[in-house]
Chain A
Amino acid sequence: MSLVARHLEEAGLPTVVVGSARDIVEECGVSRFVFTDFPLGNPTGKPGDVEMQTTITGMALDLLERAWQPRTTAQTPFVWDADCNDDWRQHFMKVDDSNRTALAAAGDERRAAQATAKAEGTGRG
């Protein structure tokens, strides 16, 4: 997605990315970025929270208007858990002794399925 933003900017079209994967967007390098420090899935606000969605969308509009140089990042003021419970950060894509065997098996299964799909000619070229 950040690569698309860069392509549009190169063509003269101003863009702003709103996302929750800060490192991926900033490493790619975009002109304007609103960072929402939430689990992946709701970069423009929590479900049902219209006020928050309005604030975050408004921040994107603010950046379109006011950023004067590339790599301008603004972080939203919101936290996912009111008690600052950060378990979601640890939980996502977790790798430890509790799931190492299952992950290895899942990888084997996925590769086997992809090989089958390729043999049947249904794989993406």
Chain B
Amino acid sequence: MADDRRTHRSHVSYIDKSRGYYGAQGYPQAYQWAYHHEVPFAALEKPLAKCRIGLITTSFFERNINETSVAGTGTKEPYAALCSDALGGLYNKDLFWDKDNTHTDDLDTYLPINRLREFAAQGRIGSLADRFYGVPTDYSHRRTTRRDAPQILEFAQQDELDAVVLVPL
């Protein structure tokens, strides 16, 4: 790939884009994105080859969601479901991803269950947990931190996870 010179950063700023996009839709208040100066860090406590890994997605397990419902009126809750039940794909049409340029028909492009199972078979990780976990994309930081995150932690503890891979769509 040729070197280049640019007047702007090349990766997309979704914070900037969404501010302009929703402003144009008549929402005067810009969304307040989460910002933290301090960042927690936990190290693995055992070799990866002995770790049970969990996968977390923002996609939905239920496939019979009313597609005509108004955004924000759903009853999304954090959930845990068997990986084997997800292989046919998850529901994410209501999420904000680039539907003009790609698709989510291939599960492993956003929830790499098969790829992690292969790593487990090769001994790179101990295992992939039998269950994966879903957390809704929520406008409210409060719901995410006080309801969703503790529920996901509880799932992780029930399944004795050693590490987690989170894949927001």
A, B co-complexed: yes
A14 touches B149 (CB 8 A): no
**Using a CB-CB cutoff of 8 Å, which residues 1-59 of chain A contact chain B?**
1-19, 21-25, 27-31, 35, 37-48, 50, 53-54, 56-58
Q: Which of B16, B40, B169 contacts A70 (CB 8 A)?
A: B40
Q: A29-B36, A41-B104, A103-B24 are in contact. Are A13 and B163 (CB under 8 A)?
A: yes
**Using a CB-CB cutoff of 8 Å, which residues 50-108 of chain B contact chain A?**
51, 53, 56, 58, 70-75, 96-106, 108
Instruction: Enumerate chain A residues within 8 angstroms of B25, measured Cβ to Cβ.
Output: 103-104, 106-107, 110
A14 touches B43 (CB 8 A): yes
Dominant SS among interface residues on chain B: loop
Q: A14-B43, A64-B44 are in contact. Are A103 and B21 (CB under 8 A)?
A: yes
Place the interface of chain B in its size category: 35 or more
A31 touches B41 (CB 8 A): yes
Question: A interface vs B, CB < 8 Å?
Answer: 1-19, 21-25, 27-31, 35, 37-48, 50, 53-54, 56-58, 60-61, 64-65, 67-71, 79-80, 84, 86, 88-89, 91-93, 95, 99-100, 103-104, 106-108, 110-111, 113-114, 117, 122-124
Nearest first, the 4 closest Cβ-Cβ pairs linking A and B are: A107-B25, A7-B149, A39-B98, A70-B39
Question: B interface vs A, CB < 8 Å?
Answer: 1, 10-18, 20-27, 33-44, 48, 51, 53, 56, 58, 70-75, 96-106, 108-112, 115-116, 118-119, 124-125, 135, 137, 141, 144-145, 148-150, 152-153, 156, 161-169
